[in-house]
Structure 1
Amino acid sequence: MGVTMKKYLLATAGGAGLLWLIFGLLPAQALNQSDLIDKKIANDSNDENNHQNSATLTVNNSDQNLEINNLDQDDELAQITSVSQLSDVQPTDWAFQSLQSLVERYGCIAGYPNSTYRGNRAMTRYEFAAGLNACLDRINELITTTTTDLVKKEDLITLQKLQEQFAGELATLRGRVDAVEARTAELEANQFSTTTKLNGEAIIAGIAATGGAPGKSNPNPILVNRVRLNLTTSFTGKDLLITGLQAHNFLGGADGSGSMQSSLGLASPLLSSSSARTSFEPQFPGLNVKNLSSVGANSLELYKLLYIFPVAEKLTLFAGTAAETSDAFPAVTPFYGEGQESISRFASLNPVLRVSGGTSGSGLASAAGFIYSVSPSLDFRALYGSVNANLPQQSASEAVPGVSSTPLGAGLFSGSNVVAAQLTFKPSRNLDIGLNYSHSYHELNILGTGLISGDVGALSGVAAGTPVTLNSVGGTVTWRFSPKLALSGYGAALFVDDSSNSVNASTTFTSWMLGVHLRDLFKPGNTAGIIFGQPLYRTDASGTAVLTPAGENRATPYHLEAYYRFKVSDNISITPGAFVLFNPEGNSKNETTAVGVLRTTFTF
């Protein structure tokens, strides 16, 4: 056979044979940035380390930690000349000889910069095409530069035998590829969006309670729900627009009517603030607190609208008209997760994050801020939020004497607002620390945390319409003894002063919590928590403010909680749990109160 004929055989039969040889041997390329962001948007709220990436904006939204990272560029493949350059390829590997032939005979196989081949990784069709093209280019080069025989007769016979032996498998693969291509074309033609992904969460829970204020009968058990749908959109692959919709059937309104807290007699006379509140209950159920209008059960509302975008390697900005402090600040504690972890509002977050309705559960504030990543283990975050940015003017009418029917004021830079900051650092692999400061102004005599009945009328003995200024400090620490055991706790102090010229009053509130968090308890994926602490409690009062409201017996309140979450499947979890309140609301006249919860969470 002439040299010319052999060259053509090499370009045809050789290409088909090489296709089979490299089919399982090409290295898989790293995912691109868009794919990595898609994976980060997946539901992974229980990963304790997610909150500590200093280059990450964590959006704690529907218990799904939606993150956008400063991602590294993909590893580039490097051409090699000898199979010995690949550190993870051994002569005992079943495909060693085939790989050695492709590398040393044809020079058309690439490895990774770290001298690995990663032969066990899956291969995409793109990678297959790239590898085949590289081999064919090399063969063409050999054809044009060589006059000697490039392919031996034995090689052609071997290739022919391989084609005959694997004819059935190749035909099956062709059929599968055709089916995949047809299915892909159908999905692309009918996809929801090329830039937007949909995920959601549905909570169905039974709640029962006993105890409460003297003379109150135990309320009937209730069945409640909360459903959230989240649209996450990326326009550049590095930014993120979050749009969240929700509906729930919790009741309350301006006077707390229909709420479990009101039935127990523990709630404030306005807004149903109480230490008996569950973690997944909105702070102002049944009420638009901006104008005191009622909101019906299971009404659809926009609870999240937030845009996040990087402007420099270490600097990320965010802004939105429906946001919460916890969207930008890592929780640090593993007990955070309204649909997955702690069942009480007390245990989920440091109270400083909740000041000014910072975690209202309904996207109360318009906010803007930044994240500056000092180093992989240290970042600083700050925001400004206004809870009345969409109101051009405060109403002249009064809901109650001295309180406007738009009680939070009006305008982006007037009325109730908050400036908050958090320094998050990780001094060691197993230790996470978050330090918080918040400065806020309220048109009302209120803390805005929703944690205790004393939240409303924070300066006891002072009129409800008295504006106040809060300076709040707190810290949260989590120490992981092992991957399955963590100790976590927080401490907080809220300093409240009147902001009017008519009175001179101040009050200090303190709170602390300590708990043990367990992962993979009895079964992988299951978690549990045991929590003890002191809810917010007045520890000091001066001026016209009083330490103990009239009719109460002052006593330090305590909170004890336990829960166990077990995974039924990747998308369903069930959490039974209970918490007990001793001296509820800091009043020993109130009976010891127990609240039991059976929460089922569906994620999709």
Structure 2
Amino acid sequence: MSKKNIYCLATVLSVLANPAITQETLYSFNEPDSMAQINSVSQLRDVSPTDWAFEALRSLVERYGCIVGYPDRTYRGNRALSRYEFAAGLNACMQQMERLIAQSESVLKEDIETLKRLMAEFETELAALGTRVDNLEGRVAFLEDHQFSTTTKLGGEVTFTLAQAFGDKVTNPNTGISEDLDTQAVLTTRVRLQLATSFTGKDVLFTRLTAGNLGASFAGQTFTDEGRFAYDGQLNNDVTIDRLHYYFPINDNLRMFVMASLGGHHFYADTFNPGLEAGGGANGALSRFAERNPLYRLGLGGQGVGFRYKLGTNFELSAGYLARGGNDPSEGRGLFNGNYSAMGQLVYKPTDRIKFGFSYLNGYDPNGVGSAFSFGGTGTRFANLQLTGLGVPNRPISSNSYGLQGQFDITPNFSLRAWGGYTSAKLIGLGEGEIWNYALALAFPDLGKEGSMGAIIVGAEPYLGGLDVPQNPRLINDTPLHVEVSYKYPLTDNITLTPGLIVLAAPNQNSGRNDPIYIGTIRTTFTF
């Protein structure tokens, strides 16, 4: 039994002699506060020489050191306690006397006799206490023998996805050739193993290994990034270190995020979509678009830093800088000589249930390999400024993006979220384009069972609303409607089943040449 769990018996030596003593005169041994050993009864602020138990307390501490107090130097002797708590204190004093005897220290015979009588009286409770202690020691020994690390926690996620895309006519926006949508049902997997290491207790180093075979979902058959699964991206089950981040506090209000691999603005900024936002995990929304405003995906995959700062109780400021290719020393690459995305976000939270946010992002994309303008696997091909189908050549792009987000938790079981984004993209030396996206999300936490999540998301993935270039190509800018319905159901604490349906109307923002696309799925996620 550790020192902090040694409880004192205020009147152990006088209990039998004074049957009028009640539990209120004894110490509460089940108090959760931490305790500290004291050396003199005079150190207790709430015990005075006029108290009837003062001499008993002084005898215990001076004779046997069998007393503890709270860190604030109080004894709180009028608190009630159970027989089990009394037995715990009795056991502690008994062990203290055994140590004194083993060290040839003197122990009064009458005290020993008193303890024997108490032990006989509380024999049942002491036996139960010993069993509980033995069980606890066995469990602690098992954990010590099997723990992965004293500083690192290992978490894992394994996902099986059964899915198929349905539809009729789809058109390749680059070639203008139409064809029937012909896909097969697939069973795909994705595995994540993440190590979370803390060196100070307040910081955390994330190291994540990922493998999978989802690829880009059905984008190769639908010719659009709309409807891609939130957790796709890996091919051939190759194992990669896709996340290497270190988070640490600078002070009580400011936290810093260093992202050496797979940087993203959503890692340090609030995205207003809890439960559906899973950071690319397979326990949130089905699609990338339903996770968060696509503006947070600008610059995704690079290296950089982020900050999150609390401004009082109602405001929060986030800022970050990312560079795809920030680890490449080549000309036109690196942290400051190539692709970058810088974001600032202000969050206002007037109540515990309502919050709003405004985001601004400035970016530059040289449009080379790995540094082209992109909404991170969401939106139409034209919104991602893949404009060869319009006869517009690739150009470096300078962009300014503005986002509005909001969340209203109407009840504990119903939450309303919404976002909108606008991007002004300048094709350097050629012209400008404007890109829009917006969504309304209805979330139903604990729907039918604790830990479940129902969701309905309706909106428009990023689409090119206008293009002002000298060639003045005829741009079709039908609104590409995205409708997603899903229900995450926990079979156990570690297994969830998520059936869902994604409907894409006017995919690639062209309803005339593209029929609606339906993506049905059943996702099973194992976590440990």
TM range (shorter): 0.7 to 0.9
**Matched letter for residue 449 of structure 1:** G
Q: Secondary structure at the match of 1:188?
A: helix
Q: Is contact 1:336-1:342 (8 Å) kept?
A: yes
**Matched letter for residue 391 of structure 1:** D
Q: Is contact 1:22-1:132 (8 Å) kept?
A: no
**Matched letter for residue 371 of structure 1:** R
Q: Aligned equivalents of 1:547 and 1:449: distance in 2?
A: 25
Structure 2 match to 1:511: 437
How far did 1:512 drift?
0.8
- Correspondences of 1:383-422 after superposition (within 5 Å): 383-393=320-330, 409-422=332-345
Q: Per the alignment, do residues 23 and 199 of structure 1 end up closer, same or farther by CA in structure 2, a change over 3 Å counting?
A: farther
Q: Aligned equivalents of 2:12 and 2:412: distance in 1?
A: 54
How far did 1:410 drift?
2.1
- 2:381 counterpart (438, 453, 461): 453
Superposed CA offset, 1:575-602 (max 9, x none): 1111111111101110111111111111
Structure 1 match to 2:220: 262
Q: Aligned equivalents of 1:597 and 1:250: distance in 2?
A: 13
Structure 2 match to 1:597: 521
Q: Aligned equivalents of 2:350 and 2:56: distance in 1?
A: 51
Structure 2 match to 1:66: none
How far did 1:561 drift?
1.4
Structure 2 match to 1:478: 407
**Matched letter for residue 363 of structure 2:** S
2:209 equivalent to 1:245? yes
Q: Aligned equivalents of 1:600 and 1:190: distance in 2?
A: 28
Structure 2 match to 1:73: none
How far did 1:317 drift?
1.8
Structure 2 match to 1:527: 453
Q: Give the TM-score normalised by structure 2.
A: 0.77
Greater alpha carbon shift after TM alignment, 189-198 vs 376-385: 189-198
Task: Report 1 or 2 for greater relative contact order, CA contacts < 8 Å, sequence distance ≥ 6.
Answer: 1
Q: Aligned equivalents of 2:157 and 2:52: distance in 1?
A: 53
Structure 2 match to 1:307: 246
How far did 1:341 drift?
2.7
Structure 2 match to 1:355: 298
Q: Aligned equivalents of 1:447 and 1:118: distance in 2?
A: 65
How far did 1:429 drift?
1.6
Q: Is contact 2:256-2:307 (8 Å) kept?
A: yes
- 1:277 counterpart (228, 233, 237): 228
Q: Aligned equivalents of 1:115 and 1:508: distance in 2?
A: 70
Q: Aligned equivalents of 2:447 and 2:75: distance in 1?
A: 40
Superposed CA offset, 1:300-338 (max 9, x none): 101111111222232222212112221111221233224
Greater alpha carbon shift after TM alignment, 167-176 vs 427-436: 167-176
Q: Calculate percent identity across the aligned residue pairs.
A: 28
How far did 1:176 drift?
4.4
Q: Secondary structure at the match of 1:454?
A: coil
Greater alpha carbon shift after TM alignment, 300-309 vs 522-531: 522-531
Structure 2 match to 1:581: 504
Q: Secondary structure at the match of 1:187?
A: helix
- 2:126 counterpart (170, 175, 187): 170
Structure 2 match to 1:29: 33
Q: Is contact 2:442-2:455 (8 Å) kept?
A: yes
Q: Give the TM-score normalised by structure 1.
A: 0.68
- 1:184 counterpart (130, 140, 146): 140
- 2:265 counterpart (325, 336, 357): 325
Q: CA RMSD in A?
A: 4.1
- Correspondences of 1:61-76 after superposition (within 5 Å): none
2:196 equivalent to 1:196? no
Q: Aligned equivalents of 1:496 and 1:487: distance in 2?
A: 30
How far did 1:462 drift?
6.2
How far did 1:349 drift?
0.6
**Matched letter for residue 218 of structure 2:** M
Gap runs ≥5 in structure 1: 1-9, 32-77, 83-99, 141-149, 253-258, 268-273, 287-296, 359-363, 395-408
Q: Aligned equivalents of 1:532 and 1:280: distance in 2?
A: 20
Structure 1 match to 2:175: none
- Correspondences of 1:67-86 after superposition (within 5 Å): 81=46
Q: Aligned equivalents of 1:601 and 1:103: distance in 2?
A: 61
